[in-house]
Amino acid sequence: MAKPIKKAVFPVGGLGTRFLPATKAMPKEMLPVVDKPLIQYAVEEAQAAGIEEFIFVTGRGKSAIEDHFDHSFELETLLKERGKIDELEAQKAWIPPAGHTAYTRQQEPLGLGHAVWCARHFIEDEPFAVLLADDLVLSDTPCLAQMVEVHQRTKGNVVAVMDVPREHTSRYGVIDPGAVDGDCVEIRGLVEKPAPEEAPSTLSIIGRYILMPEVFEHLSKGERGASNEIQLTDSMAQMIGHQPFHAHRFEGVRFDCGDKIGFLQANIAFALEREELREGVVSFLKALDL
Ligand code: UTP
């Protein structure tokens, strides 16, 4: 039996420059899709996959995230006084219990690998999940739960992948695929942001990972990679051949909400999923008559 995955790391230290001016004074991860911040979608996805400990790697200007996962005494009192008991319960349901969230700061945004490394003291000798909140996945089974199932079978590292147009490979970590077993693809190699002509495939990693703790040994070296950043992909690549490493072609649609068009698409797609909003959105889109 593989060790259960109980901890997830949420790197939220990025500056979100693609989303200025919205992200000047507000964390990118607090941008709402319909009525819920991106980071709450990520935490709920982790909860649905059995995660019990939530570790946020933050940076300056990210305190709204801490407040969001805390009880708001004023709000709860007000809802109680007004008899809005259902709303009160709904507001409390997704907040992790006391002592189950931890926050550490990435003092400089040196890259995703560095952000994950900042969480090393919260992880013991156990596999753990990493979720990037700006990647939002709409699926029947939450993406991380799909990956946990793969991890239980393969007992190693698992990343979520999707095919991207070849001209976009330079935006992603791309896998060199080996044996294929249904939606599960063995990984023979990984390259961060390859030029289209050099990419080993078009299967690209999105912001969902299950990693073995050995990744910290490689991250500790602090080696810089593409864009002069400490890349998570480079440390993951060093584990290939030493322990199982698989890519999971997830079921669902992924939206890159760190990008304006992806964010707008996510809002429409998630609104269409909501019974009380669907009709209004459909009639608005139809009336546009594009
Ligand atoms: P991005 O590449 O989207 O960078 O990071 P960014 O700074 O957030 O946004 P842009 O490109 O300037 O608009 C991918 C993920 O890695 C985290 C980000 O928070 C995001 O979830 N990250 C990135 C860190 O936590 N620290 C870093 O140093 C870099």
Q: How far is the CA of 217 from the centre of ligand 1 (A)?
A: 22
Residue 111 beta carbon below 6 angstroms from any ligand 1 atom? yes
User: Which pLDDT score is estimated for 133?
Assistant: 97
Per-residue 3-state assignment (H helix, E strand, C coil) for 10-63: EECCCCCHHHCCCCCCCCHHHCEECCEEHHHHHHHHHHHCCCCEEEEEECCCCH
Residue of the nearest CA to atom 2 in ligand 1? 14
Give me ligand 1 centre to Cα 14, in Å: 4
Nearest to 182 by CA among 225, 246, 231, 233: 246
Structural domain for 112, as ranges: 7-288
What pLDDT sits at residue 1?
64
Alpha carbon nearest to ligand 1 atom 29, residue:
111
| Domain presence at residue 210 | yes
Contact 191, 173 (CB under 8 A): yes
Tokens 């429409």 belong to which residue?
268
Ligand 1 neighbourhood includes 14 CB (under 6 angstroms): yes
Give the number of domains in the chain. Answer: 1
18, 112, 192, 259: residue to mutate for ligand 1 pocket, most atoms within 8 A of CB: 112
Pocket test of ligand 1: the residue of 28, 228, 229, 257 to mutate, having most ligand atoms within 8 Å of its CB, is 28
Q: Cβ of 65: how many Cβ atoms within 10 Å?
A: 23
> pLDDT tens digits for 257-287?
999 999 999 999 999 999 999 999 999 999 9
pLDDT single digits (tens) 65-93: 999 999 888 899 999 999 999 988 888 88
Q: Is the pLDDT of residue 160 over 70?
A: yes
Asked if residue 249 is part of any domain, the answer here is yes
Q: Rounded mean pLDDT of 13-31?
A: 91
Q: How far does the centroid of ligand 1 lie from the alpha carbon of residue 27, in Å?
A: 11
Q: Helices 143-154 and 38-48 meet at what angle, rounded to 10?
A: 40
Q: How many angstroms does the Cα of residue 290 sit away from the middle of ligand 1? A: 34
258 lines ligand 1 (CB under 6 A): yes
Q: Is 152 exposed, middle or buried (0-12, 13-18, 19+ CB in 10 A)?
A: middle
Does ligand 1 come within 6 angstroms of the Cβ of 18?
yes
Question: Above 80 in pLDDT, residue 2?
Answer: no
CATH code of residue 33 = 3.90.550.10
Q: Is the CB of 109 under 6 A from ligand 1?
A: yes
Contact 133, 42 (CB under 8 A): yes
Q: Tens digits of per-residue pLDDT, 227-259?
A: 899 999 999 999 999 999 999 999 999 999 999
Residue 1 maps to a domain: no
Is residue 96 one of the residues assigned to a domain?
yes
**Is position 51 within any domain?**
yes
Ligand 1 centroid – CA 231 distance (Å): 11
Closest residue by Cα to atom 1, ligand 1, is 14
Would residue 104 count as lying in a domain?
yes
Q: Which two tokens stand for residue 118?
A: 């900042």
Specify if 75 maps to a domain: yes
Beta strand residue intervals within 34-145, DSSP E: 36-37, 53-58, 101-105, 128-131, 135-138
The confidence band for 290, taking pLDDT boundaries of 50, 70 and 90, is confident
- Cα separation of 243 and 229, whole Å? 25
Q: Does residue 2 lie within any of the structural domains?
A: no
Percent of all residues in the chain with a pLDDT value above 90, rounded to a whole number: 87
> Does 106 sit in the ligand 1 pocket, CB within 6 Å?
yes
Q: Is 3 in the pocket of ligand 1 (CB under 6 A)?
A: no
